[in-house]
Amino acid sequence: MSQEKSWLSNGLVVFISSGVIAVKALLDSFLLESVDQVFLQAFALVFPVIILSNIASVSISNAVIGTASSWIDKERVSGSVIVLSISAAALLGLSVSAGLYVLQSSLIEWFGAQQLGTAIGSFLDHLALWLPLQFCSAVLLQIARYLGLFKSSGLLQVSSGAVGMLTSVVLLMWLPLLPPLVSVVVSNAIIAFCSVCTLLYMMKSRIHWQACEREPVQRGVVGKALSICSTTFLGQSAAVVFIFFITKSVSEQGEAMVAVFAYLTRLEQLILMLAVAFMNVMLPEVAKLIKDEQADLQNYLKKAQRFLLINGVIVACLLTGLLVMKINLEYSMSEQAWTLSLVSVIWLSGTVLQGITVFYSQLLNVLLSPKVAVVLNLFRFTLLGMPLVYAGSVWADAIGIATGLLMMHTISLLIYQHKVNQHIVGNNGISRAGLNT
């Protein structure tokens, strides 16, 4: 099997399991809009909260990936480590939920969305039902993948996602017993709960309690896991701040733009999750090449970037076309429809470049130089992204915001690529010529 086919087949398996939540978010958007567009607008404005939970999940996953070789082998995993890991994940979920509960009034005021306050508040009030389970699921999923259970864990994630989607339909359309955004949280919690239960059941034969009693968890491994988790989270915290800034900027562009923003952000998630799924296949292979100091790393990264670009463009074109059709049907080919369509095209074009940037960022953070990744992320979102988006909003409103994002992703990709090249040359003596496209 060729390298590209291997990436595609294994990556799609990962995407099916991780992308199900993005598909569900799209379904929730349609369902909420059918109930009342007010709830769709509220769902758009809680997007930064969802990204915060995603970044926390990625941080936990990176900690597992970065330390797995110390406490997992191909046949078994220590039971005490499982307990410790999911306990820490659940505690983090409760802490994040509590923090957002305390800050909800400030968040509503920041978005200038007092008229949506009740809907947004109902979402934030119930996050403790979802986030602890979501973070536990992220830990167990990475362990299952490390044990080689890619396809079976993917199938379980899809099944859990199907249960969650059915729950959304029931709670939002057939038995509307809960406020709409509470129904979304509950259905997400059900997905995470099903995932945790089924993953534990699937791995029960691989969990050995006797072994873990003779091999206690090493402090150095725990310290390394905490370091990777905190470094990833701090590095991506600038992204959370930036997304709050973006959401604030969009909230000032009118109700139609906020409604389209709900779909744009969910489609963006879908495109990025596909890219991340491919990365989950690529990063272990890159790690092996770096460890073995093989010159094949040159061609590998060149092929990986081309692969991510081609697949990203294909998916983005398909999703953008569907969104543009929806916009024009809803707004009857008006000038407003043209503006919203142009924003969508520019926005999702930038998302393709963002996916490749994330690949280089993950490469730096997990395998090469975490400190450099943190500094670059801070620069990317605060010193580069915010000024460009603000200037764009002043210059051309919503179109300017999308253009500022596209410029940010383009410049960021060039910088991250240069830093990866520079680090590899400095540490392995590999010529950067092969890394350039």
- pLDDT tens digits, residue range 251-302? 999 889 999 999 999 999 899 988 988 887 887 777 777 766 655 677 788 8
- 3-class secondary-structure state, position 74: coil
CA pair distance 337, 93, nearest whole angstrom: 40
The pTM of the full predicted model, rounded to 2 decimals, is: 0.82
Are the beta carbons of 349 and 406 closer than 8 angstroms? Answer: yes
Are the beta carbons of 205 and 70 closer than 8 angstroms? Answer: no
Backbone angles phi, psi at 72, to 5 degrees: -130, 135
Task: Say what the pLDDT of residue 235 is.
Answer: 66
CA pair distance 281, 58, nearest whole angstrom: 15
Task: Say what the pLDDT of residue 378 is.
Answer: 86
Task: Say what the pLDDT of residue 121 is.
Answer: 94
Neighbours of 117 (CB within 10 A): 16
Q: Any idea how long the chain is?
A: 437
**Tokens at 34, concatenated:** 């059918």
CA pair distance 185, 33, nearest whole angstrom: 16
Task: Say what the pLDDT of residue 431 is.
Answer: 38
Residue 86 CB burial class (10 angstroms; 0-12, 13-18, ≥19): buried
Q: What is the mean pLDDT of each run of 10 residues along the chain (437 residues)?
A: 77 76 90 93 91 83 72 72 85 92 91 90 95 92 81 84 95 92 96 94 80 49 74 77 92 91 92 87 77 69 90 94 92 86 96 93 74 84 93 92 96 91 63 39
What region, left, alpha or beta, does residue 365 occupy, with left being phi > 0 and alpha being psi -120 to 50 degrees? alpha
Amino acid (one-letter) located at 287: A
Helical (H) or strand (E) element with 47: helix 47-71
CA pair distance 193, 185, nearest whole angstrom: 12
Are the beta carbons of 142 and 68 closer than 8 angstroms? Answer: yes
